[in-house]
Amino acid sequence: MLKKTLLILFFITVFSFSAFADMYPSYDYMENGGTAVKPQPFYVDRVLSAKNFGTGSFEGAEDIFVDSDMNIYVSDTQNNSIAICFSDKSTKIIDGFFINGGRETFNNPHGIFVSGDTLYVCDYGNNRIVIISIKTGESSVIRDIQSKILDEDFIFKPNKIAADGYGRIYCVSDGQYNGLMVFEKDGTFSGFVGANKAKYSLSELFWRSISTRAQKKQQTLFIPTEFSNVTIDEENFIYTTTATVDIYDPSVSEPVRKQSPNGENILRYSGGKYPIGDRIYPYYGEELSGPSRFVDIAVWDNKMYSVLDQSRCRVFTYDQNGSLLFIFGGIGESQGSFSLPKAIACNKNTLYVLDSKTGAITVLSPTEYASKLITAVNYASEGDYNSALSAWSKVLEYDRNNELAYFNIAQIQLNKSDFTGAMQNAIKANNRQIYSNAFALNRMTFVGENIGYIIVSVIMSAVFLFIAVKLIKKARLIEKLKARSKTIDSLAYGGHILYAPLDGFWVQKSEKKANILSGAVIMVFLFLSFVYSVQGTGFSFTGSGYELLQLNVFMELAKTVLPVLLWCVSNWCITTLMDGSGNFNDIFKASCFSIIPYISMSFLCTFLSNFLTLNEGQILKILMSIGIVYSAFLIFAFMCSVHEYSAGRALIAIALTLIGMAVIIFISVLFFNLINKFIDFAAGVYNEIRLRN
């Protein structure tokens, strides 16, 4: 018995491995913009071919549909027929139909759709829609469409089709950019619905506004992007896909739409991110460059939807809120890969992908990991948060880096007033909004429970500070430190500069009230303020941030210290030509003291960011703006005082200094490029001589 059990387990293991071995690794996009490897969400259950349908080949097939009874329909385009494989394994080929007593055939059929026992076929080559009763064989056609809203040269080329529960038909016609063509149950054309937006640049709008009618006729037409496919869910909501994606503004092309009855897109987007497929890809120059190209969509029973990307032969599955759940597939001929995926269908958690090049229908079933994730999504959509919390926790057993699981757990904990837990899981989910909401409620709870202690602590701190200041003044501690150290005396003088800048900079220059070391100390504080900002900013305002070990000290020094030094060099060059009175030392010291407000506000804002929420972030922006503006004013003041310029001349000198900085950067980059070219040339000559000898 033991040997038999071990043998069965061995075969199960081998079979499971073979089911996954050839599939591309699954991945997901993280909130920080990177990718992460994920457990395989689907495995190949079986692969169907035309033989399963009792016909020759499905190469060139255009569409697939699976009804609620698990009957599979294929638009066998090359054989001009519709192949059906019923759930009981019986088959049927529809290669013709009767209209007015005469038999007619299909010519290059494309899209198909089944509603009840009615089959809708886009008879593309015959420019018509064919409607057939699967049970009785009764049929009708829609063609020779006449309407005032259609162009005179309109040619009906039905490509994809869907029908709602009321018999209303929605059709994608090639070359038609006004949206889906809508036909009533009796075949009457009633208009269009849900056109994509047309994008206009400001320059195009301007030139069209001043163009004559003749010029407008010669200009390129602004037309929306046409749909690539259409389907309808059980609630009669229309879903469409668009193959062309605007990578800079997906809201224009809207690659996936869920249409309301009036044509508005009511699809939900998670965090404002549109379902565009791959977010990281080569933009040009490679075989797989460019964005995803959606050619079909399948809607699940629980309102999840899967879209088929023909560019890289992948399937992207989203929940009803637009959160990305799964990515799988790839280019190839092995199981789980596709050569030219043309259509996708879904029924009872099973996906069917039609490959038009190989003629294969790949049937994919969810793995244990995907099943747990689908269960969690179902519980969440039903509002069963207790079950959802348990289900999301089980998802984490398979994938510890699943940000969606952490996000949903954080939301549930927030609803249950577990604010600390919600904050912890929001950090793992890299979700600032949930963290901020939980932090606000946790802060309110803490203040409410400890208001007495907080008031006493504030009063005691104020008393302690008052006493400390009195003791320091009495002991004349600051005066003693200033007397012992020129640098401390110089830094203390910075307070006078802040409230009387013109007088302060003049005295600093004429009476040598500051030294180079004091400026260097301020530069150190500038660097520390940047490091503290990176490491110490509250999660609500960073989202992730760096780890301390990831900081490159030399790079951070270059970001903070180098711009100040570059300003000083450029300003010295410009003011020398403009007869400025200050030397390089005066410029360096004055520049360093001018950025004290910026440094101070940087420290303050970083500290406050740990106690404020996203809704209160405007406070930080105001404080930081005050620091920047006041530092800019101090720079203007030192230009007037140190260089003895008028206000206008000072502004001109500042503008020329900024231009000079750009020139120095350009020359430096050019110089280093020339050095690299020279090194490459010298290395090439050396290698040539060495090889010849």
Q: What is the pLDDT of residues 574-601, one digit of tens each?
A: 999 898 888 888 899 889 989 999 999 9
Closest CA to 48 of 93, 89, 108, 106: 89
686 vs 639: CA distance, rounded Å: 52
* pLDDT band, residue 259 (cuts 50/70/90): confident
What is the pLDDT averaged over residues 632-640?
91
Place of tokens 């310029």: 645
- Give percent of the chain above pLDDT 70: 85
Q: pLDDT per residue over 455-486, tens digit each?
A: 888 899 888 888 877 776 666 666 655 556 66
H or E element in which residue 663 lies:
helix 647-692
What separation in angstroms does the CA of 498 have from each of 241, 446, 634?
60, 38, 8
Threshold 0.85, pTM exceeds:
no
Place of tokens 């009063």: 459
What separation in angstroms does the CA of 493 have from each of 348, 501, 522, 634?
76, 11, 13, 15
Contacts 24+ apart (CB under 8 A), 513-516: 513/489, 514/490, 514/589, 514/593, 515/486, 515/487, 515/490, 515/589, 516/585, 516/588, 516/589
* pLDDT band, residue 542 (cuts 50/70/90): confident
Place of tokens 């009036």: 262
571 vs 567: CA distance, rounded Å: 6
Does residue 496 surpass a pLDDT of 60? yes
Phi-psi region of 89 (alpha: psi -120 to 50; beta: other; left: phi over 0): left
657 vs 575: CA distance, rounded Å: 9
Under CATH, domain 370-449 is a member of which superfamily?
Answer: Tetratricopeptide repeat domain (1.25.40.10)
Q: What is the rounded average pLDDT for all residues in the chain?
A: 84
pLDDT recorded at residue 271: 67
Q: What residue type is assigned to position 33 of the chain?
A: G
pLDDT recorded at residue 115: 92
* pLDDT band, residue 325 (cuts 50/70/90): very high
What separation in angstroms does the CA of 85 have from each of 53, 69, 123, 204, 641?
5, 11, 20, 53, 90
Q: What is the largest CA-CA distance in the chain?
A: 115
Query: DSSP 3-state assignment of 170?
Result: strand
pLDDT recorded at residue 485: 61
253 vs 240: CA distance, rounded Å: 11
pLDDT recorded at residue 477: 61
pLDDT recorded at residue 335: 83
What is the pLDDT averaged over residues 196-206?
53
Residue intervals in the chain for CATH 2.120.10.30 = 15-366
Q: Which ranges in 544-646 belong to alpha helices (H)?
A: 553-577, 584-594, 596-608, 617-642
Measured in degrees and rounded to the nearest 5, phi and psi for residue 175 equal 80, 5
Residue intervals in the chain for CATH 1.25.40.10 = 370-449
Please say whether the structural domain 15-366 has been given the CATH code 1.10.10.10: no
* pLDDT band, residue 10 (cuts 50/70/90): very low
List residues bridging with 82 in a β-sheet: 75, 94
Lowest mean pLDDT among 341-350, 353-362, 459-468, 613-622: 459-468
DSSP labels, 175-224: T--S-EEEE-TTS-EEEEE-PPPPP--HHHHHHHHH--HHHHHHSPP--P
* pLDDT band, residue 74 (cuts 50/70/90): very high
pLDDT recorded at residue 375: 94
480 vs 482: CA distance, rounded Å: 5
pLDDT recorded at residue 546: 44
Q: Is 573 exposed, middle or buried (0-12, 13-18, 19+ CB in 10 A)?
A: middle
Q: pLDDT per residue over 400-435, tens digit each?
A: 989 999 999 999 999 999 999 999 999 998 889 999
409 vs 549: CA distance, rounded Å: 30
pLDDT recorded at residue 505: 82
Contacts 24+ apart (CB under 8 A), 124-128: 124/157, 124/158, 124/159, 127/155, 127/156, 127/157, 127/158, 128/156, 128/158
